[in-house]
Amino acid sequence: MAQVSTGTEVLQVAARLRLAVTRLNRRLRAEGDIGLSPSAMAALASIGRGGPLSLGELAAMEGLKPPTVTAIVAALEAEGLVARQLDGRDRRITRVTLTSRGRQRLEGSKRRKTAYLASRLEALDQSQVRQLDESLGLIELLLEEQG
């Protein structure tokens, strides 16, 4: 029978997990750096994942105010990473999509991050990699929306 964790044990695990995730995120951000602010990089990734998006949809996804999103999109557009297009059904709405250059930069960032993680995983033995793989299922479970 599995031993039930105490509240103190749960707090200790939560603190270790928070620190590890924070440090890993910081390292991955550095590895995948493409010369954009974290907000611009997050917006570019959201556009790549869900685009074309209206500025309002992007603001909601990123939890930002519309003027902030407008400034971020203008900067991304100036670098040739995104393009604006009028909505086919409602010409009052502008949608933002990745350009080929934006997609290449985003994919390059993802490849560098994955390569970094793969190189770190190669330092582990097969048993440790399996253990980490099993733990990822639990982390994914933690990330599921509670409804």
Supply the pTM of this predicted model: 0.77
- Specify the pLDDT at position 1: 46
Q: Is residue 95 part of a domain?
A: yes
Separation of alpha carbons 96 and 50, rounded Å: 10
Q: Name the token pair of 52.
A: 């074309």
Mean pLDDT of 110-121: 95
Q: Is residue 6 part of a domain?
A: no
Q: Is residue 1 part of a domain?
A: no
Query: For residue 147, is pLDDT > 60?
Result: no
Q: Among the residues of the chain, which ranges form H helices? A: 7-31, 38-50, 55-62, 66-78, 100-121, 126-143
Distances (CA, A) of 22 to 13, 16, 27: 14, 10, 9
Q: Is residue 56 part of a domain?
A: yes
Q: Is residue 5 part of a domain?
A: no
pLDDT in tens, 42-93: 999 999 998 799 999 999 999 999 999 999 999 999 999 999 998 888 888 8
Query: For residue 23, is pLDDT > 50?
Result: yes
Q: Is residue 40 part of a domain?
A: yes
CATH number of the domain where residue 55 is located: 1.10.10.10
Q: Count of domains in the chain? A: 1
Separation of alpha carbons 91 and 32, rounded Å: 36
Closest C-alpha among 57, 61, 103, 62 to residue 80: 103
Mean pLDDT of 110-114: 94
Strand partners, 98: 82
Q: Is residue 4 part of a domain?
A: no
- Specify the pLDDT at position 4: 55
- Specify the pLDDT at position 82: 97
- Specify the pLDDT at position 18: 94
Please, what is the average pLDDT of the chain? 91
Q: Which domain holds residue 89?
A: 11-143
Q: Is residue 112 part of a domain?
A: yes
> Residue 145 is which amino acid?
E
